[in-house]
Amino acid sequence: MNIHPIDPHNRRDVNRFIDFPHQLYRDNPYWVPEIRSSARLVFDQKRHPFYRHSKAQFFLAQNQNEVVGRIAVLHNRNYSAHYKQEVGFFYNFDLINNQEVAKALLDAAVNWARQQGITSILGPRGFLRSQGFGLLVEGFDQIPAVGIPYNFPYYQTLLENYGFAKEADILSGYMVRSDELPVKVFAAADRVAERGNFKVLQFKRKRDLKPWIPMVDLVYREAFLKNPNYYPTTPDEFALMAQNIYQIADPRLIKIITRDDKIAGFILGYPNINRALQKIRGRLWPFGWIALLRAMRDTRHVDLNGLGLLSEYQGRGANLMLYAEVERSLRAVQAEHADMVQIDERNFNSFS
């Protein structure tokens, strides 16, 4: 077996890296492929905003020319600067169930990280703050939310045998159509609205969202500043994240709460298009985009991956409005299932 560093300019190398999980998970009904153009973008050091401040390296594990594993290792200098310690990330960690392969891949990642002056490694964690992070340790019989990683159960054993330990639990939950908030929550939320201090902005067209996007970024930064593992993104990174979400956004699932015409909080939801991504195997062309458009229109599966409220408004009634609007949004699209994802167990405000 050998470890092969990927040349990002070598199309064959890049294709082998992208294609490997398609082979590994070919018989798994829950794994969801990434859109291939997005998977390819992380190799483009001129176009991807991550490389304007940071570095990454990709490795393949090969056994007699057969790919048996892959890994990416990242030095996000902005994250390190924010926490004043040199931290690396590993990502795209996929492999057969073999401890020797795991050790070889992780050794390569650790050695590269040491050369960058990195003193600790977290993962899996990707190139953008909006990308799903963490290792799946429960819920292997569920299709994930859009952008949230899926992996085989044996990954945990391979990582722990190497020496990795849990930093924190990243929680997800779900609601079904029969789950309803108590009537008194809606009554209390309505009383808050009647006072006129807080207002809920609703959207009918996607283009109506655009003027609010920069302001949502500012609120996101402040609302999540004290959350574990938060770090600020650059304007170019936020633009890419916003573009990715905007492409699949349903304006009925996005709400903004204002106070005195300033954003106090927001709800960010979007249709779960993962079944369509499985069918098209991550390929938009020539006809994959049609399947995605149909899924965005027809799915009754919704993801909620952004609820934020500025700290000064928490506990002042805006929380109630936020919860009530979540349920109203789900009813508006006739959702049968909604996933709430990526909640750090240390973020106690999410449970209040």
Q: What is the pLDDT of residue 350?
A: 52
- In this prediction, what percent of the chain has a pLDDT beyond 70? 99
**3-state SS of the chain: helix, strand, coil percent to 5?**
40, 20, 35
- Crossing angle of helices 318-332 and 183-195, in 10° steps, is 120
pTM of the predicted model, to two decimals? 0.92
Tens digit of each residue's pLDDT (9 = 90 or more) over 250-281: 999 999 988 888 888 888 899 999 999 999 99
Residue 241 and residue 194 in one domain? yes
Asked if residue 348 has pLDDT above 70, the reply is: no
Residue 150 and residue 276 in one domain? no
Question: Span 319-324, mean pLDDT?
Answer: 86
Q: What is the CATH number of the domain that holds 81?
A: 3.40.630.30
189 Cβ contact list (under 8 Å, min separation 6): 317, 320, 321, 323, 324, 325
Tens digit of each residue's pLDDT (9 = 90 or more) over 94-146: 999 999 999 999 999 999 999 999 999 999 999 998 888 999 999 999 999 99
**Smallest Cα–Cα separation from 245: which of 114, 345, 128?**
128
Mode of pairing for the β-strands spanning 170-176 and 2-5: unpaired
Residue where one domain finishes, among candidates 167, 200, 232:
167
Q: What is the pLDDT of residue 203?
A: 92
Q: Range of 234's domain? A: 174-351
Residue 318 and residue 179 in one domain? yes
What long-range pairs does 162-168 form, CB within 8 A, spacing at least 24?
Answer: 162/99, 162/102, 162/103, 162/106, 167/122, 168/228, 168/344, 168/345, 168/346
Residue 45 and residue 124 in one domain? yes
Tens digit of each residue's pLDDT (9 = 90 or more) over 42-64: 999 999 999 999 999 999 999 99
Q: What is the pLDDT of residue 197?
A: 82
Residue 161 and residue 235 in one domain? no
Dihedrals φ, ψ of 46, to 5°?
A: -85, -30
- 38 residue type, one letter: S
Tens digit of each residue's pLDDT (9 = 90 or more) over 11-30: 999 999 999 999 999 999 99
Dihedrals φ, ψ of 185, to 5°?
A: -70, -45
Residue 78 and residue 161 in one domain? yes
Residue where one domain finishes, among candidates 167, 200, 228:
167
Q: DSSP letters of 100-141?
A: HHHHHHHHHHHHHHHHTT--EEE-S--SSTTS--S---S-TT
CA separation for the pair 161, 240 (Å, rounded): 36
Asked if residue 351 has pLDDT above 50, the reply is: no
How many domains would you assign to the chain?
A: 2
The position carrying tokens 């009530």 is 324
Residue 95 and residue 233 in one domain? no
Residue 66 and residue 181 in one domain? no
Task: Choose the weakest-confidence range: 115-129, 239-253, 310-324.
Answer: 310-324
Residue 255 and residue 317 in one domain? yes
Residue 134 and residue 218 in one domain? no
Residue 204 and residue 98 in one domain? no
Q: What is the pLDDT of residue 346?
A: 78
Residue 147 and residue 202 in one domain? no
Q: What is the pLDDT of residue 192?
A: 86
Tens digit of each residue's pLDDT (9 = 90 or more) over 187-233: 988 898 888 788 899 998 989 998 888 888 888 788 777 778 889 89
CA separation for the pair 329, 335 (Å, rounded): 9
Residue where one domain finishes, among candidates 136, 167, 198:
167
255 Cβ contact list (under 8 Å, min separation 6): 200, 201, 202, 203, 266, 267, 325, 329
Quote the mean pLDDT of the chain. Answer: 91
Tokens, residue 329: 């949004």
